[in-house]
Amino acid sequence: MIRIKKKFLSIFLGLFLTSIILLTSNNPAIANLEMGPLNFDGIIGDTEWIDADVRDQFFIDADNSDGNIDGNNSLLIGEDEENLYIGLDLNCDQTVDPSSEWVGIWLNTNNSSFSGENEWLQTVNDGAESLIVNVSSEELWEPFGDSSSYDNDFYPISDEDLITPVIYGDYFGNYQDLVSFDSLYYGLNSTAYLGYNVTRLDIEFDLQNFYGQLLDDYIGHIQRFNLYIRSDLNTTIDSHRVVAWKPDGTLDLDDPNQNFNLSKNSVPNNDWGYINSGNLTAENTLKISIIANSSSLEFEVLYDRIFFYIEVDSYNHGGPDDHIMDKPLSSIKNAEYSIGFGPSSLNSTSHRQFEFKIPKSELEHYDANQELGIIVGGYGTMSFEDKDFWCYSKSSFFLDENFSDQYLYYDMQGVESGDGISINRPSDIIFEHGQIGNYITWIISDINVHSPTYTIYQNGTLNSTGEWTSGSLIIVDVNNLIPGIYNYTIIAFDGYGGSIQDDVSVIILSDSNGVAGYPYFLFIGIAIVSISILSKKIKKIGYIERVY
């Protein structure tokens, strides 16, 4: 066996190879996983979505009374370095009128865990994302109705809300004793102050902790705060009340608009009171003091539960069912979307289609190393039988966007940098037919991989595929080939969208010192251009992880 450096082999071939046509590689084109530019006309075209990472089909038994049909629909997902692309091909939706229709996308971009409205709210822009579009206006869905009615958002007390040490009195217990009715109390023993026995507990509620990154959407839609306190006293006292602090940070005990009374009797009591949204500070905090006093007796006050109902303008839930969308807000503000009606590359009948382009800058914690979670759904576009909405989720029957375990999860491995992937460069090989011990040995290295694979082609025809581990050997046995010229190409993928390619030429000479069927004198001067054919190339190409 003779191993020759590429430079010398190219010169050799320039003198002796017969035809450039015979040597040209016919490797199939490997699609660049990055999504190409969309026409963005709302129509799912086969060419523009060919590089989608995900093509998932789902069946819906639709309500046929309004002209929609039962059938398969498709969810497509792709990405490039800067954007996430989502396509919806809703074959079941065959009605033209978009009035009152909306379509929504909910994402879990970094495998966050959340369960319930409050946890979802606090995870928004930290893994949880939402985009709800008004089909008729092709604008973001307006999440609130008018202020003539309201919805309640439940705000339980948290450790960050309590201000300790307390101003007056000695306290015992912790904030968890205020979360539920459990006969575990947060209590205060009175202390002497200016001739009175007094307790005072200060609580500061920070709406940023509750509404998280959607707080700006809520400011301007908060009507008032409905405060609930369950308390118990060991004796009857003179006064027990809540005083709201003014936005300028002052506490006016004599302003009746800033006070409401609590029970002062020695029996368990449930008290409600209202605080206006005008008491919010510029930092969107609300501070209250719960003050109790007695002119003659020392006392103990026990608090079993404290929470708010935040009254906001009524949610525009998006349909007759008040809970189609619990929180109909879009965290994604700057996406592009196009809505179309007509045939597509997936379905020949006219139907509703959507194309979305979401900048990854809108997905603050997008992590391509994690599976992408998604729920899609809508109202009016089509609906389940006897329902007002449709959705595609793990349960496939409920729009449970507040629960991370109800999302569908997909690998997105299209465009993460593959700069770390490397490969050795084995020399080209020439040997006489019948010699043994001839092998191509590749070694691929990369410390950051995810289900890495490789594909080997021989003269453009698939030879083998497999998985690789960093530093392991991939060996191709070329001993038993008949005399001829063989070009081997390996393409290795790191599983994150990075890839690398290497080529090795194998020439097997016949016993007459020529390639079988090609005496040397026919080769002269023909394949000087083989230098370019056999030169090394490293290509960053995409990788379609799976297509449905």
Do 369 and 505 lie in a common domain?
A: no
Residue 366 is predicted with a pLDDT of 86
Judgement on whether residues 333 and 202 belong to the same structural domain of the protein:
no
Among 410, 430, 463, which residue terminates a domain?
410
Give the model's pLDDT for residue 46.
80
Q: Which runs of E-coded beta strand occur in 366-498?
A: 372-379, 389-392, 408-410, 422-423, 428-432, 439-445, 453-458, 461-467, 473-477, 484-493
Does any domain span residue 13?
yes
Supply the DSSP symbol for 124.
B
pLDDT at residue 340 in the model: 92
We report the CATH number of the domain holding residue 480 as 2.60.40.10
Residue stretches of the chain with pLDDT short of 70:
1-34, 36, 320-323, 396, 413-420, 447-449, 496-497, 511-548
Asked if 163 and 120 sit in the same domain, the reply is no
The pTM for the full model equals: 0.66
Distance of alpha carbon 97 from the chain centroid: 31
- Neighbouring C-beta atoms of residue 41, cutoff 10 Å: 14
The verdict on residue 17 lying in a domain is: yes
Residue that is last in its domain, among 370, 394, 410: 410
Does 212 share its domain with 308?
yes
pLDDT at 22: 32
Same domain membership, residue 270 and residue 168: yes
Give the span between the Cα atoms of 412 and 51, in whole angstroms. 12
Quickly list DSSP for 482-531. Answer: PSEEEEEEEEEE-SSS-EEEEEEEEEEE-TTSSBTTB-GGG-TTT-TTHH
Phi-psi region of 380 (alpha: psi -120 to 50; beta: other; left: phi over 0): left
Residue 44 lies in a domain: no
Asked whether residue 545 is domain-assigned, the answer is no
What pLDDT does residue 282 have? 93
260 with 159, same domain: the answer is: yes
Quote the pLDDT of residue 532: 39
Is 204 in the same domain as 223? yes
Those residues with Cβ within 8 angstroms of residue 131's Cβ, 6 or more apart along the chain or in another chain: 104, 105, 106, 107, 140, 330, 331, 332, 335, 337, 356, 358
Q: What is the radius of gyration, based on Cα positions, of the chain?
A: 35
Looking at 392, 410, 428, the residue that finishes a domain is 410
pLDDT of residue 545: 33
Alpha-carbon span 79 to 34, nearest angstrom: 6
Same domain, 308 and 328: no
For residue 204, give the CATH number of its domain: 2.60.120.260
Residue at 39 is within a domain: no
What gap in Å lies between CA 219 and CA 417, rounded to an integer?
Answer: 40
Its domain, for residue 337, covers 54-143+317-410
C-alpha dihedral sign at 503, 504, 505, 506: negative
Residues 399 and 361 in one domain: yes
Question: What's the total number of domains in the chain?
Answer: 3
Q: Is 273 found in the same domain as 156?
A: yes
Q: Are residue 195 and residue 62 in the same domain, yes or no?
A: no
Strand, coil or helix: what is 295? coil
The reply to whether 103 falls in a domain is yes
Task: Identify the CATH number of the domain in which residue 399 sits.
Answer: 2.60.40
H/E segment holding residue 122: helix 117-123
* Co-location of 170 and 194 in the same domain: yes
